[in-house]
């Protein structure tokens, strides 16, 4: 089986995302890969650049960035040597496929099948979107 050099995992506190996070930790350790954690601040119907100038979004983004540090520490404590965290804005699937993947350049995306928030919680539509449109291998965990 191929080794991955950079693994991107979506985290959002849902049960499936926690499973995806745990899997990605083990896979990153096995492959000695960089682990990049991503969470998306879902800003419905607001342009990403406009949203970043709004005070309430800044507040939510800083809270999410602080929350992500708990995941970074957990991955480091589990033995992953290189852990990064990214916070994106917009619709989760589109933000990860169109913004995060081109920027981070991972070789594997690991996501849970269901999300905790928004429309994505219905039948894993965001996971299905990412599996269909991501230009890299996608593992959907349930």
- pLDDT of amino acid 22: 97
Helix (H) or strand (E) holding 34: strand 34-41
The domain 6-141 having CATH identifier 3.40.470.10: the answer here is no
Q: Cβ contacts of residue 106 below 8 Å, gap of 6+?
A: 4, 6, 7, 8, 36, 136
Whether 77 has a pLDDT exceeding 80, the answer reads yes
Distance CA 28, CA 32 (A): 5
Average pLDDT along the chain? 86
Q: Which pTM does this prediction carry?
A: 0.85
Q: pLDDT by residue (tens digit) across 30-72? A: 999 999 999 998 766 555 565 556 555 566 788 888 999 999 9
Domain boundaries of the chain, sorted by first residue: 6-141
């Amino acid at each position: 089986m191929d080794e991955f050099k950079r693994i991107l995992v979506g985290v959002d506190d849902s049960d499936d995302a926690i499973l995806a996070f745990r899997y990605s930790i083990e896979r990153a350790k096995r492959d000695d890969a960089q682990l990049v954690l991503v969470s998306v601040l879902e800003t419905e119907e607001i342009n990403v650049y406009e949203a970043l100038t709004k005070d309430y979004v800044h507040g939510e983004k800083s809270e999410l960035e602080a929350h992500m540090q708990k995941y970074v520490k957990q991955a480091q404590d589990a033995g992953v040597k290189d852990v990064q965290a990214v916070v994106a804005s917009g619709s989760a699937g589109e933000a990860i496929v169109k913004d995060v993947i081109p920027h981070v350049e991972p070789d594997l995306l690991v996501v849970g099948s269901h999300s905790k928030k928004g429309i994505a919680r219905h039948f894993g539509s965001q996971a299905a979107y990412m599996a269909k449109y991501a230009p890299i291998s996608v593992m959907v965990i349930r």
